[in-house]
Structure 1
Amino acid sequence: MFFSVLLDDPVLFLRVVIIVILSVTLHELAHGFVAVTQGDDTPEKSGHLTLNPVVHMGWESIIFLCVAGIAWGQMPVNPSNFRIPKLSNILVSAAGPFLNLSLGLLFIGLMRIMADSSQELFSLEFFYLAARINLILFLFNLLPIPPLDGFHVLSEIIPGLKPLQNSPFGFFAMMVLFLLPGFGAGLAMIADVAIARLSGLPLM
């Protein structure tokens, strides 16, 4: 369990929790802000245009993050309010993953700047971990599996897939992915290679 990291490496535990909470919160905010630009005021009316992670994740997600290393969030939107339903839904769905991609690239840039830093919390290793987590979130959320953002984008392009949104397919597909040996390691490897290429620094 991820909680054991707290005993073995409390600094790493704190870093992961901080990065994931920040990344998930900003991911959900990106969905919300783009939804507002597309004519839906649901995020604003529901009080979700806030930096409070509890609003976006809930205590259950935060506790599960600390125990198992897995977290989730949500942003209420009403697609019926979108000005251009198909395009708006694609933009809103893609906003979250691409926010994580932007964060990943930002942290890679900070890695280049902070390469010689020796700070305990915000060191080169911290920015590497932040970039890695955000690139993994970007890759994972673009998978075309409900309820992930990638499925919402794909189902707008291929409307025949929409019935799968409320079917057990997504649950079973996610279970298979999490049980698949090497799935998480594969996403991490892609992120590591991307960071090394873009930062010019060796793999960590």
Structure 2
Amino acid sequence: MFLTTLVTHPAFFFRYIVIVIISICLHELAHGFAALSQGDDTPKKLGHITLNPVVHMGVESIIFLCLVGMSWGQMPVNPYKFRNGKFSDILVSAAGPLCNLALGFIFIALLSLFYNSGFISKDFLYLAARINLAQFIFNLLPIPPLDGFHIFSNIFPELKQLERSQMGAFGLMIVFLIPGFGAGLITIVDLIITNFLRLTLAF
């Protein structure tokens, strides 16, 4: 269980918790600001335009994060208030993953910039880049209730049937049960980070 790293690798435990909480909060805020830009004031009315992790994640999600290393967040939106229909829905859904993508490359840039300085922990920056890029890729999977499902089901309406099927109900569970899924995701992320570092450090 992830909680054991508090004893075996306490520095990693706290780095991981802090990065995941910040990343999820910014991910959800990106959804919220995108919704506001599309005419939906629900995030503001319900008090979700905040950096408070309890609001975005809930106590249960934070406890789950500390126990098993996984967590989730939520931004309330009302698609019926979007001024541009499907386009708005795609934009709002994509805002969260794109925020993680931007954060991932910001942390890669910082890692490259301070690689030999000792000014900022390389381990922290690498982990932050890894977590955000992993969140970006994972959230784009076209499985309910992930952002990718909302994006692709607006482009391909046939996918909406998944939401009402058993696949929709157990899709995420099935993904986590795929042997090597997590390791494969991290391998892809590490390849992205190391290749960009090679490019930037070469100059």
Q: TM-score, normalised by structure 1?
A: 0.94
**1:120-139 equivalence runs, <5 A:** 122-139=120-137
Q: TM-score, normalised by structure 2?
A: 0.95
- Flag structure 1 segments of 5+ consecutive residues without an equivalent: none
Q: Is contact 1:100-1:135 (8 Å) kept? A: yes
The alignment partner of 1:5 has SS state of helix
1:126-177 deviations in Å (ceiling 9; x for gaps): 1000000000000000000000000000110112222322443233221111
Cα distance in 1 for residues equivalent to 2:159 and 2:24: 26
**1:88-167 equivalence runs, <5 A:** 88-118=88-118, 122-167=120-165
Q: Is contact 1:86-1:156 (8 Å) kept? A: yes
- Flag structure 2 segments of 5+ consecutive residues without an equivalent: none
Shift of 1:105: 0.2
Structure 1 partner of 2:12? 12
The one-letter code sitting in structure 2 at the alignment partner of 1:191 is V
Structure 1 partner of 2:196? 198
The alignment partner of 2:64 has SS state of helix
The alignment partner of 1:3 has SS state of helix
Q: Is contact 2:163-2:169 (8 Å) kept? A: no
Q: Does 1:168 align with 2:166?
A: yes
Question: How many correspondences in the alignment?
Answer: 199
Cα distance in 1 for residues equivalent to 2:43 and 2:106: 26
The alignment partner of 1:39 has SS state of coil
Percentage identity across paired residues of the two chains: 60
1:60-84 deviations in Å (ceiling 9; x for gaps): 0000000000000000000000011
Cα distance in 2 for residues equivalent to 1:43 and 1:168: 30
Cα distance in 2 for residues equivalent to 1:135 and 1:106: 11
Cα distance in 2 for residues equivalent to 1:168 and 1:63: 28
Structure 1 partner of 2:35? 35
Cα distance in 1 for residues equivalent to 2:136 and 2:90: 15
Cα distance in 2 for residues equivalent to 1:35 and 1:167: 28
Cα distance in 1 for residues equivalent to 2:34 and 2:98: 12
